[in-house]
Amino acid sequence: MAVPDNKLQIEMLRKMMLIRAFEEKIKYLFTRGAMAGFSHLYDGQEAVAVGGCAALTRDDYITSTHRGHGHCIAKGGDVAKMMAEVLGRRTGYCKGKGGSMHIFDASLGILGANGIVAGGLPMGTGAGLKAKLTGSGQVTMCFFGDGTTNQGTFHESLNMAGLWRLPVVYVCENNGYGISVSQARHQAIRDVAVRAEGYGMVGAIADGNDVLDVYEKASAAVERARRGEGPTLLECKTYRYGGHHVGDPGTLYRSNEEVAAWRAKDPIPRMIAHVLDSGVMTRAEVDTLKAEVDAEIEAAAAYSLESPLPEPEEALDDLFIGFRATGREGRGARGGCAAGAGRAECGGAEGRPRA
Amino acid sequence: MRTITCRQAVNEALREELARDSRIVMIGEDIGPYGGNFKVTEGLWREFGDARVLDTPISENGICGVGLGLAITGMRPIVEVMFSDFTANAMDQLVNQAAKIRYMSGGQVTPTMVVRTVIGGGRSSAAQHSQSLHAWFMHVPGFKIAIPSTPYDLKGLLKAAVRMDDPVMFFEHKMAYNMQGEVPDGEWLIDFGKADVKRAGDDVTVVATSLMVYRALAAAEKLESEGISVEVVDPRTLIPLDMDTIAASVRKTGRVVIVDEGHVTCGVGAEIAARIAYDCFDYLDAPIERVGTLDVPIPFSPPMENYVVPSEDDIVFAVKKAAR
C-alpha cells in the first residue's frame, strides 16, 4: 500500500489549495467580465487530479477534459501561463489559441485539455501504445467524467488498452452529472468501475474526496502498469460544487441539500484535518501554506492581466510548420509564406500570396 | 525503367519507409496476416511483425486517435482506414483532434501521421463503400492532402508524406490499384504542391484527380482524333494546391473542365473553379465545366452506378461543351 511521506502529503495539500484558489480567481474574473468565453471549474474534485498525478512522474503523460484546470495544475502546470491562456493572452500556454479547454504542456506530458467529451481517450491510449512499443516505462493517466463512459471512444479505447495490455490508467471522476443529467438518468449502472471486467482490466473504486485514498489506488494502478500488467479503470466518486460552467448556477437539476452534503466532505478540510491530527503540519504551517498559495494566484492574475493580447494576425500562425495562412484582404495581414517556407508550402488558399 | 502497379507502388513505399525509420508504425484493420482489404500491405506483417504492422479492432475513431497519440509522443504512425466512407466514423479524432492539435496547443506539438484511405466507385460496392470524400478534409484546415493517380506519383508522394512532419490525408483509388506505370530505379520523393501536366494540349484544360486522370487521358486521346487538343493537369495534392500550374494552363487554353470523383456540390471542382474564376477571369472563353459524381448516394446496380460516377464519355461531352 502506497503511503505518501510527509513531504508529499504537504505537496498534495498545497496543490489542492492551489487548484481551489485558481478556480476562485477565475470565477471572480469571469463575473467581473475580465474574461471571454466560458470556463468549467474543478472546485470540489481536487483530490482526484492531485491524488492521481501524485502517483506519476514528470515523464508520464496525462490527458484531460473540458474541466481541465485541476489536472494541469496537479501535473505541474505553471499557473501564470495557465491563467494567461484562460484570459486569452499571448503569454498563455497556447499563445491564446486554446483557452480554458485546450491548455497543453508538452514538456510536462500534458497532452491537452479537450473540448470534446471522451476526445482525449484514444490519444492517451496511443501514448500508452507508444510506451509499450518503445519500452519507455512511461504511464499515461486519462482523466474523464462519468458522461464520457457513454461515448463510443470510451469503449474503443478501453478495448484496445485491455487487448494490448497498455500502461494506461483510466481515471473516471464520477461527479454524478453529465452536464445537467444525473448518472441515474444517463446510465443503468451506479459503479462505472464494473465496466473494467468487460475490457479484461482491473477495476477499482476510490473515495474521490479523499486525496490519500485516490493516491493509494492510483499508485497501485500505476505500479501495475509499469510492471507490464496492463491498464486499470479507476473510478473516483466526487462532486463538482459549481454548475457545468461558470454561467450555470447548477440549481435546476440538483438540490441545495445534495450540494451541502458533498461540501461537508470537502477534500481540502479533510486533508488539513489529517495533516494536523497526524502531526505532519501545525496550524500555523497550514495557514502559511494557504497564504503562499493565495499570493501565487494573485501574482498569476496580475501577470495575466498585464500580459498583452495577441495581435489579430497571429491567428494565421501555427497551422502547419513554417507556414502562415492567408490573411483577410483589406485588413492588414496579407498572408503569404512564413520565412524559410518552400514554395510548395505556399500554394493554394491555405497560404497563397496574392500578386 | 520497370513497370509496376499502383498496388505495388504503395507496398514498396511502405516497405522501404518501415525499413528506413523504426519510429514508423502501421496500424489499421486487417493490414497484418491478411495483407489489407485491397492486398496493399501484403507481406509487411511477415517482414516487420506486430510491433510495426499492427492489426486493430474495428474501431475507426479509436484507431485514428491512437495514431494521433503515437504521433504526438514521438512515433510516426501510418494509419489505414479501409474505405474513405469509414472516415465518417473517425471524424472526431481526425477533424476535432488531429487537424487542430498543433494550432490549439500554440504549435507545441505536430501530429506527424499519415492516414491512408481508399476512395472510388466502380466495383458495385454501393453507397457505403464507394464514396470519394477527400473534399471533406479540404474544408477543415490542418491536413495536407494527397490524391495521386500513377504508380510513380503514389510512391513518390507516399514516401514524402511519411517523412513530412505535418499530418497528411492520403487518398488511394481502389480501381487504380491494378493500373500499371513506369517507374525509375532508386528512390524519388515528390514535393506536395506540385501539379503534373500528364498530357500537353492547346484547346481545353482538363484538371483531373486520381482515377479520373486515366479517364481524362483516354478522353483526350479520343478528342485528339476529332481535332480537339486537350491538356490534362493532375494536381496530385489538394492541400497545398498548385494553382500556378493550373492557372498557366487555363491562361493558355481559355477553357477548362474539372473532373473529380467526389460529389459535385461543394466538391474539389467547386473550389478549383472558384480560384480559376478569380485568378484567370480575363482569360476564360467559356463557362468552367465540372464533372463529378452526381448528387445522389452511389447505387449498387452497375447500370445505375456507371451513370452516376463520371465516365470517359462524360468527360468527352464536357470538353466538347467547353470547346464550343
pLDDT digits (tens, 9 = 90+) for A83-122: 999 999 999 999 999 999 999 999 999 999 999 999 999 9
pLDDT at A329 over 90: no
Residue B173 falls in the annotated catalytic set: no
Contact B243 A350 (CB under 8 A): no
Q: Which pLDDT value is given to residue A198?
A: 98
Is position B190 within any domain? no
In whole angstroms, give the CA distance from residue A228 to residue A206. 22
pLDDT exceeds 50 at position A22? yes
The residue segments making up the domain with residue B27 are: 2-183
CATH code, domain with B103: 3.40.50.970
Residue A222 lies in a domain: yes
Question: Do residue B73 and residue B166 come from a single domain?
Answer: yes
Same domain, A202 and A316: no
Are residues B72 and A127, on separate chains, in Cβ contact within 8 Å?
yes
- pLDDT, tens digit, for every residue of B144-174? 999 999 999 999 999 999 999 999 999 999 9
> Which of A153, A342, A352 is facing B61, going by the closest CB pair?
A153
Same domain, B239 and B171: no
Whether the Cβ atoms of residue A78 and residue A292 lie closer than 8 Å to each other: no
Q: Which one of A90, A129, A354 would you mutate to disrupt binding with B, by most B Cβ within 10 Å of its Cβ? A: A129
Digit-coded pLDDT (tens) for A283-294: 999 999 999 999
CB–CB contact A352 B109 (8 Å): no
The residue assigned the cell 443529467 is A181
Which value, to the nearest 10 degrees, does the dihedral of the CA atoms of residues A171, A177, A180, A185 take? 120
Q: How far is CA A273 from CA A10, A241, A291, A328, in A?
A: 12, 21, 18, 58
Model confidence band, residue A348 (pLDDT cutoffs 50, 70, 90): very low
Contact A152 B61 (CB under 8 A): yes
Residue A1 in any domain: the answer is: no
Q: Looking at residue A338, what is its pLDDT?
A: 39
Taking an 8 Å cut-off on Cβ atoms, the answer to whether B72 and A129 are in contact is no
B61 touches chain A (CB under 8 A): yes
pLDDT recorded at residue A16: 98
Q: Is residue B189 part of a domain?
A: no
Residue A129 sits in the same domain as residue A47: yes
Domain count across chain B? 2
Tell me: do B137 and B236 sit in the same domain: no
Determine, for residues A93 and B73 on separate chains, whether the beta-carbon distance falls below 8 Å. Answer: no
pLDDT number for residue B307: 98
ipTM: 0.95
Are residue A132 and residue A109 in the same domain, yes or no? Answer: yes
Instruction: Answer whether residue A35 is part of any domain.
Output: yes
Q: Would residue B99 count as lying in a domain?
A: yes
Inter-chain contact A346–B75, Cβ cutoff 8 Å? no
Query: In terms of domains, do B300 and B158 share one?
Result: no
Q: What percent of chain A has pLDDT over 90?
A: 88
Whether A159 maps to a domain, the answer reads yes
Within a domain: residue A293? yes
CA distance A120 to A112: 8
**Based on the domain organization, do B53 and B122 belong to the same domain?**
yes
pLDDT tens-place string over residues A155-174? 999 999 999 999 999 999 99
Closest by CA position to B13, among listed B138, B126, B170, B140: B170
Q: What is the largest CA-CA distance in chain B?
A: 59
B182 min Cα distance to partner chain A (Å): 25
* Selected residue with higher pLDDT from B247 and A331: B247
Q: Which residue of A has its CA nearest to B244?
A: A347
Helix (H, G, I), strand (E, B), or coil: what is residue A133? helix
Rounded (10°) angle between helices A120-134 and B60-71: 60
Nearest to A116 among B96, B194, B271 (CB): B96
C-alpha cell at B30: 486487417
What is the rounded average pLDDT of the residues B60-82? 98
Distances (CA, A) of A250 to A72, A255, A258: 24, 9, 11
- Closest Cα of chain B to A335: distance in Å? 14
Tell me which residues of chain A, numbers 200 to 259, contact chain B at a CB-CB cutoff of 8 Å. none
Q: Is A62 on the interface with B (CB under 8 A)?
A: no
Q: Are A317 and A210 members of one domain?
A: no
Residues B134 and B225 both lie in one domain:
no
Q: Do B160 and B298 sit in the same domain of this protein?
A: no
Q: What part of B 227-286 touches A (C-beta under 8 Å)?
A: 238-244, 271, 275
d(CA B125, CA B74): 38
- Say which CATH number the domain at B300 has: 3.40.50.920
Checking if the pLDDT of B22 tops 70, the result is yes
- Average pLDDT, whole number, for chain A? 93
- Per-residue pLDDT, A35: 87
Per-residue cell: A311 = 495581435
* Cβ pair A75, A110 in contact under 8 A: yes
Question: CB-hemisphere CA count at 13 Å for A22?
Answer: 35
Task: State how far residue A92 is from chain B, nearest Cα, in angstroms.
Answer: 9
Residues B113 and B135 in one domain: yes
Where residue A332 falls among pLDDT bands split at 50, 70, 90? low
**Does A183 lie in the same domain as A132?**
yes
Q: Position B166: which residue type?
A: D
Position A228 in a domain: yes
Cβ of residue B96 closer than 8 Å to a chain A Cβ: yes
Minimum-distance CB partner of B243 among A121, A160, A347:
A347
Element (H, E) at A181: strand A181-182
Regarding whether A318 and A300 lie in a shared domain, the answer is no
Asked, for residue A137, whether it belongs to a domain, the answer is: yes
B192 in contact with A, Cβ within 8 Å: yes
Write out pLDDT tens, residues B27-66: 999 999 999 999 999 999 999 999 999 999 999 999 999 9
- Kindly state whether residue B191 falls inside one of the protein's structural domains: no
Contact A127 B69 (CB under 8 A): yes
The range of the structural domain enclosing residue A229 comes to 6-306
The domain tally of chain A equals 2
Give contacts of B 119-158 with A, CB under 8 A.
Answer: 141-142, 144
The reply to whether A75 and A119 lie within a common domain is yes
pLDDT in tens, B208-243: 999 999 999 999 999 999 999 999 999 999 999 999
Q: Are residues B165 and B212 in the same domain?
A: no
